[in-house]
Amino acid sequence: MASNIEELLGQVHLRIEDPELIPSKRYYDQEFFDLEKEHLWSKVWQMACRLEEIPEVGDYTEYSILDKSVIVIRTQTGVKAYQNACRHRGVRLANGPGHLGEGGFICPFHGWRWNAQGECTFVFGKEIFNKDLLAEDEINLPSVRCEEWAGCAFINLDDDALPLRAGLGAVEANMDARNADKLKMDWWYGTVLPTNWKLAMEAFMEGYHVMETHPQLHWRSPTSRFGPDGDGRVPDDFANGSEVVNRFADFLQRLSTGMAGMIHQTEVDVIETIRDMEVPDDIMGATTAFMDRAAKEITRDARERGVDMFDIAKTAVDFPSTQVEFIFPHFFLLPTFGAMSSYRIRPLTPETCFYEIWSLVLRPEDEEYDTPTEPTILPYDSPDFPEVPRQDYANLPIQQLGLHAGGFDNMRLSREYEGLVSNNHRLIDGYIAGLDREVLTKAQHGVNTGLDSPINDIGFGPKLND
């Protein structure tokens, strides 16, 4: 079995041969992009929509990935998904979000119709067709695998794929414990980046870039692994515990301004009320006391407002999580306290992608809110983006250009802190090689990890050299 796996991997174009080196051509080579299209995106579970996009029976939206298009609709019997093409001459039936009227999906070309169950309910001039062409199995909309998790509908174009949850690994329990299924959108932005889809994701797989890219977030934190000199030492320039609290509170306010969902304004408001709390004078003691108090006060405040808030402090201990959690192949959730940010990235061409950001929060069930049904589309260099993505979007286009520079053949990864980049690429190779579904699903457990993860053994492919 192992020898067969290695043989299949050996045939992959631009394959990973050393887990610490990523060939630069994987980010712009047309042949490799076409292999991803054929073997990856046709086989993986993909976040197709947030369930709050389709809150009522009959609400639907369209999910597109490269040249494929899927209708996701809420029906009387749950959320369903169908191939988005008229069974007569192939016209797309849905072009964005909408609500299914009494007539169902109506093809604008010849008037054929389908109901919410994907059944063809009307063929104009049925008598002019050969009856064999109008068999139910032929003219009903082909169904697409659809499952729900974390407040989202996921689709898979592979009818034989293993269940979604089989591949989630530890991130499933971590996000379930944080009531991810109850998160609601505050806002939703999208942009076309002149960047390969994998490159766009990799800035959020490691915190090594924060010092230079997001200097406003790189303060001398007592919990930071990267000091100004790169030695990871605990800083010694805090005067006392109160200064630790105030620096932390300032940091969280700046993070909220820069990334919103990572620290929601309701959480900032609570944190402001505990700036004068008594804490030990030692740095680590003050840090622990502040974060514990903040978690408890945010939990209390949310519950008093009618929010179904989990116990933030207890959950952090029982289900430890990083600030960025990756769900293969293109979805991120970013938890800190109770709110989260979220990213989804989809390829468009070898050197462009569609990048979306959500700010998510737990709200009282009866709170009215104008929930977006489509993203606000901005140019990638728009000043209307929050500070953190704006800084990342400044880097990524010039990184894409730099990959074409002469003599740059490979990215060089830190095995301890940039491992998620390597883990992701090696799993992509497994899909391109056509490895067994169970092998790939198990490998996802080692890829669905968080910020600053090490290079993992995912069960196949090249291993680290000592």
Query: DSSP letters along 220-278, please?
Result: --TT-SS-TTSS-PPP----SHHHHHHHHHHHHHHHHHHHGGGS-HHHHHHHHTTTT--
* Joined tokens for residue 54: 């389709």
> What integer pLDDT is reported at residue 244 of this predicted model?
84
Handedness of CA 389, 51, 326, 230 (dihedral sign): positive
| Lowest mean per-residue pLDDT among 176-180, 188-192, 277-281 | 277-281
C-alpha span between 197 and 135 (Å, rounded): 41
What type of residue sits at position 237? Answer: D
Residue-wise pLDDT for 61-95, tens only, equals: 999 999 999 999 999 999 999 999 999 999 999 99
Residue-wise pLDDT for 303-359, tens only, equals: 999 999 999 999 999 999 999 999 999 999 999 999 999 999 999 999 999 999 999
* Joined tokens for residue 47: 């976040």
444 to 95, 242, 286, 373, 424: CA distances (angstroms): 32, 43, 38, 30, 9
Q: Which residue's entry shows tokens 């969280």?
A: 252
Residue 205 binned pLDDT confidence (cut-offs 50, 70, 90): very high
Torsion of Cα atoms, 398 then 401 then 402 then 403, to 10°: 130
* DSSP 8-state class, residue 52: G
Q: Is 232 a residue whose pLDDT tops 80?
A: no
Domains of the chain: 2-44+167-203+339-447 (no CATH), 47-149 (2.102.10.10), 210-318 (no CATH)
Q: What is the mean pLDDT of the chain?
A: 93
> Which residues are paired to 324 by β-bridges?
none
- Provide the greatest CA pair distance for the chain: 87
Question: For residue 329, is the peptide bond before it cis, meaning its omega torsion is within 30 degrees of 0?
Answer: yes
Strand, coil or helix: what is 398?
Answer: helix
Q: Which residue's entry shows tokens 């998790």?
A: 149
C-alpha span between 458 and 370 (Å, rounded): 42
> What integer pLDDT is reported at residue 173 of this predicted model?
97
Residue 455 binned pLDDT confidence (cut-offs 50, 70, 90): very high
DSSP string, 144-190: -EEEEETTEEEEES-TTPPPGGGGTTHHHHHHHHTTGGG-EEEEEEE
> What integer pLDDT is reported at residue 466 of this predicted model?
67
Average pLDDT over residues 229-252: 70
Residue 158 binned pLDDT confidence (cut-offs 50, 70, 90): very high
pLDDT over 90, % of the chain: 83
Residue 238 binned pLDDT confidence (cut-offs 50, 70, 90): low
What type of residue sits at position 57? Answer: V
Q: Is 223 a residue whose pLDDT tops 70?
A: no
> What integer pLDDT is reported at residue 210 of this predicted model?
84
